[in-house]
Each structure stands twice: as C-alpha cells, then as structure tokens.
Chain A
Amino acid sequence: MLTKRIIPCLDVKDGRVVKGIQFVQIRDAGDPVELATVYDEQGADELVFLDISASHEGRKTMIEVVREVAGTLAIPFTVGGGIGSLEDMRAILRAGADKVSLNSAAVRKPELITEGSNFFGAQCIVVAIDARFDESIGSWRVYTHGGRNATEWEVCDWAKHVVERGAGEILLTSMDQDGEKTGFDLGLLKAVQQVVDVPVIASGGAGNAEHFVDVFNEVDADAALAASIFHYKETSVQKVKEELRENGVHVR
C-alpha cells in the first residue's frame, strides 16, 4: 500500500532559503540544495519549494535552483509561488521539478489548471488552497495572495472545482492553524478529503510528531507538510516517521 508522505517545505527568496534553518551543522544554511539533501537523508518523501521572490531576477534564479536540486536529489519535488502562466509551468518542469503548485493564479484564472493538466498531465499540477474558517458562511473560505485576499469560494466547492479542472493533488493549508503548532486542522481536512478523490496534503499547524499521527489516523490525509518544526529542529523527519510507525501508520 502507499505510504503516508512527509513533506518538508522550504521558502526560497532570490535563490536562498529564508526563515533561518537551524537543524544541522552545514556549510551554508541558506543553500537550497544542501538543505534539500539533509531532508532527503532524514527520509523526506518529497519536498516543496515555495518561491517568495518578488522580483523577476529572483524568479529566474529559482529556475537555476530547480535545476540544481533536480541534479542532486533522487526524490520528487514541487515548486510553487508566483506561477501564473503555462510558460512559468513549462520553465519549472523543464528545469526538473516534478510538480508545480498553483495558488492565487488558479483562482484568478482557473483555466490555467486545465491547460496545465492537459499539457503536462494532472499528476504534476498541484493546487494549493489557503483556507480560514468564516462564521458568516459556517465553513472555510478560500484566500489568495498569501492569505491577504478573501475570495468568494467556500473551500469544498473550490476543491471540487479544481479537481474537475484537472488538479492532480491538493495542498490544503489551514490559515487558522498555521504557525500555532497545536496540530493540523482536522475539521477542514476531513471536509475536503470527503469531497475529492485526488491526494490531499495537510498543511498548517504541525507542532510535534503526534500531530502527524492524528492527521493520518483521524483524517486519512495522504501526506503532511511542515516547515518550521523541521527547520528549527523541534523534531526531524526521522522522528516523525518513528512515531508514525509506532502508531501503526504505514511510512517508508
């Protein structure tokens, strides 16, 4: 059977990993390739690189990073952040990324999901959804632009829509839980998991290894993503996997 995937996420700005990473003695804590290699050695099943460069030069540098990562690592990786056209997708995939992740652009231009899926295959089109609970609709609302802009979309409707459009996977981040370290948003994940038949990656809120056990045992998420708890050495991919194994979750 498929194993549950653990996915560390790295924020990259102008070709460097930002958000200080402290977990190991390496030569250069900002080098994406070195950090990716460390996670690979810890047993990461996949990696996500989020490009947060604001400039055109920064984006071009990202392509170089992708090329170098692809030349070094033997595990799959996704690149997201600022991808707004078929051309952007092509450039990232040609440089060696396995998947691209669309967020704001998918809301602005949903046909981009379909075009990408037709051109490159659904398996390499991830739609990242940022959602926050909204009392007024009694459910979670979808946000774009790093959580700054509210959309009209309710999260389950949007999730179904992106799958119909050709998304091969959903990366679902809880804005309510993000950074709280109190665990994944099981309610949100359960709601979305029930309405789509593509893999769902849980994101936002991981604070310790037990939180991963919960998200797999209670929601049956396909994968779980985290950034800071891995970066700040609060736990490691290895420790999370040991904990999962002890609790009967099938991991690699």
Chain B
Amino acid sequence: MIGIIDYGMGNLFSVSKALERLDVPYVLTDDPEQLAQCEGLILPGVGAFPDAMKSLEETGMKEFILSKVGNGKPLLGICLGMQLLFDESEEGGFTEGLGLLPGSIVRFTGKDADGNRFKVPHMGWNHLDQHQPKSPLLDSIEDGYVYFVHSYYAQAKQQEDIIASARYETEVPAVVGRANVFGAQFHPEKSGKTGMTILRNFCNLVQERGDES
C-alpha cells in the first residue's frame, strides 16, 4: 500500500489516478495512523515552498515524515514535494526544508553562463540524462522525456544524489535520491510511459523492501 500524503497542497488527483492506472493500492490521507500502515509514501505538491513547509509543520506531518523515513520507509517527493526534501529554499525569502537531502532550492535566473535567454518556468518535455542508470527508479528506462513545470530547482550538494538530470539554463536535477529517499522534479504522472514506468519502479521498490523487512 502506498500512502499519498495530503497536506493541503497541490495536485493529489493526478498522482492518485496514476496509481490507479498502475493498479497499485493506495490511500490519500492526512491521517498519520493510516499513513504509518503504508509501506511507502508519496509527497506530492504544487505551489509555494514556504506555504508547503508551514502546512507540513502545522499538521505534524514534518515530524511524522522525518521519523518514518528515518526508520527506512521509502519516500518519493514529486515536484515541490521533491524540493521539500532538501535543506532549504530561497523561495519567498529563506525557508528551511525537511533536510533529508543536502542542498538548496534556488530560482532559475532566466539565462545561462553565456547570457542566452531561458524562459521561466522551465515548462515542457525535457530529456532525462541518466547518471545512475542502475538506480531502481530508472529500471527499464532507456531513453526518455519527462514533463517539467517549475521555476525553482535543486542545487544538490552531493553529486551522487543526482540520479538523472535535464539540461536547461543549467543542469537541473530531475531524479534525486539516496537510500530510501527519492524525488522527481518533473511530474511522472504526466510524463507518458516514461513517467509511469518511474512511478511503477518506485512502487516495486516499496514492495520489495516491504517484503525484505
């Protein structure tokens, strides 16, 4: 069972529908007890980083996530949900994140090092450059494009946390993770077959780890 964390932010519908299409059982809830029963968690999110953190703190969800993930429960953050995994964001001033992955969330500048113009948000289909093709999340992904919509991106401190990236004004971490914590900056639920495969891979990983423990 996958638990989709409902903390009042974002597009929960499309993630839950995607799991239905994959025939993966899930609950969509803000109830920690129900979420605690799940073998894996998904943290979705569309919106502003400070609002999202505030909501996670006020609902007690921050503490819950940190304790469960600390105990090894697999977590997948999607879009804003991925950004929340990092230490901090400069969106709307400075906001502390969940601190599960080292690094900061910063805004696209709108140009690259050579001064070429780039539109913000980074919106559309971009190629996934795989840095760790053996990652369980990239299983059976050969060559794929995924759908991004975001104005901020992660500057990961550890290169080894970047499983795949996309090229825009700079290298944009697209799939990140270490141990049981994963994130996708794009929307796997809106990224056609490639996206659905990545979601499926996460669900498989949840199941395998659940079987081991």
Task: Spell out A's residues near B (CB within 8 Å).
Answer: 1-3, 5, 40, 45, 70-72, 74-76, 93-96, 98, 120-124, 168-169, 197-199, 222-223, 252
Contact = CB atoms under 8 A, between A and B. Distances in A.
A81 to B, nearest CB: 21
A145 B195 CA distance: 38
B50 to A, nearest CB: 14
A70 B17 CA distance: 7
Given A3-B126, A123-B149, A74 B119 contact: no
How many B residues are at the interface, by size bracket?
35 or more
A252 B20 contact: no
Contacts of A124: 46
B190 A74 contact: yes
Contacts of A95: 13
A74 B189 contact: yes
A76 B168 contact: no
B125 A252 contact: yes
A70 B11 CA distance: 11
Contact of A222 (B13, B124, B189): B124
B123 A168 contact: yes
Contacts of A2: 122-126, 148, 168
Contact of A199 (B17, B119, B167, B192): B119
Given A3-B125, A40-B192, A75-B190, 17 more contacts: A1-B126, A1-B127, A1-B168, A2-B122, A3-B127, A3-B145, A72-B21, A74-B18, A74-B190, A74-B191, A94-B13, A96-B17, A98-B149, A98-B190, A123-B151, A168-B123, A197-B119
